[in-house]
Amino acid sequence: RTIHESGSGMVPVYANENLSVMSIAFMIPNEDAAVVWRGPRKNGLIKKFLTETCWDEEGLDYLIIDTPPGTSDEHISTVQYLQGAIGARTGNGDGGDEEGPRLSGAVMVTTPEEVAMMDVRKELDFCRKTKLPVLGIVENMARFQTSIQNISFVARNEDGKDVDCTNDALTLLEQKCPEVLNMMIAANIFPPSGDGPRGMADKYNVPFLGSIPLDPNLLQSCEEGKCFTQTFPESSAVASLNRIVDRIEKALPVYYDDDESMKEKP
């Protein structure tokens, strides 16, 4: 998929009629090529994406910017460009004035171990210094959860090698304890540090939006470019993901212009 130029600007790639995407990945000929750019060139591309993309004639409900961990120059540029655009449109200075329109906020996503939360704490401080509201924290890969029938069983033989014995184990369970086959198993692949992301949210006085379990179906959907909730509606992470999205939508309801008043979209 590639980005096309039009008289109105760059046309994003449409995943479906309600979701359009802009990425530097669509602009390089080889998907395995490294992007070796210095700060000014990267910042220039960020500004180009924000100012020259023809998203939709009716505008966007949400503009979601996925950034890497940390507090790099790209994060600073993105916030400043957006605040500047809001300020220029409204005459509200840098767009960070609490009395006027401003950026909706940032959602922090972290796994529960300390090395990941360390980065998020720095990002929370970054948001404070740039006057960027924090909508909440999401715990990703909170735990692995799947049904008994989706796992493999192994036994170590006399030579110290692992041998697959899944069929024998499932047969034994069906004979001796069939109700177990309808159960789910769960394990903390990444043990939380202290009180984990929920405790960090409490410490920084920001909402905890929820936890998403480690779900292989979610990874498969991302790699295949499919809608996870539609492709695997019964998967373990679907309910958690929907609850998080509902909480974000509640914090940021979408409105449209009406002749008489501003009404929330159904």
**Chain segment 30-57, per-residue pLDDT in tens:** 878 888 888 888 889 888 888 888 887 7
pLDDT of 165 strictly over 90: yes
Percent of the chain with pLDDT over 90: 39
pLDDT of 192 strictly over 90: no
Q: Say which residue, 151 or 243, is predicted with more confidence.
A: 243
pTM, two decimals, is: 0.82
Lowest mean pLDDT segment, chosen from 98-102, 157-161, 169-173, 223-227: 98-102
| Per-residue pLDDT tens digits for 57-110 | 777 889 999 988 888 888 888 898 888 877 655 555 555 555 545 688 999 999
The pLDDT, as a whole number, for residue 246 is 96
Q: How many CA atoms lie within 13 A of 214 on its CB side?
A: 14
Give alpha helix (H) positions in the chain.
39-52, 73-90, 114-129, 166-176, 196-203, 216-224, 228-231, 238-251
Query: Residue holding tokens 């409105």?
Result: 255
φ and ψ at residue 226, rounded to 5 degrees: -110, 160
The number of residues in the chain equals 266
Give the Cα separation of 253 and 262 in Å (integer).
12
Query: pLDDT confidence of 259, banded at 50, 70, 90?
Result: very low
The pLDDT, as a whole number, for residue 178 is 92
**258: three-class secondary structure by DSSP:** coil
According to DSSP, the residues that pair with 138 across neighbouring strands are 109, 210
| Per-residue pLDDT tens digits for 6-32 | 778 888 988 888 889 998 888 888 878
Contact present, 135 and 104 (Cβ < 8 Å):
yes
The pLDDT, as a whole number, for residue 7 is 78
The pLDDT, as a whole number, for residue 89 is 59
Q: Say which residue, 157 or 5, is predicted with more confidence.
A: 157
Of 204, 86, 29, give the one whose Cα is nearest residue 134: 204
**142: three-class secondary structure by DSSP:** strand
Contact present, 26 and 49 (Cβ < 8 Å):
no
pLDDT of 122 strictly over 60: yes
Range 106-135 average pLDDT: 93
Q: Which of 25-34, 52-61, 230-239, 251-260 has the highest mean pLDDT?
A: 230-239
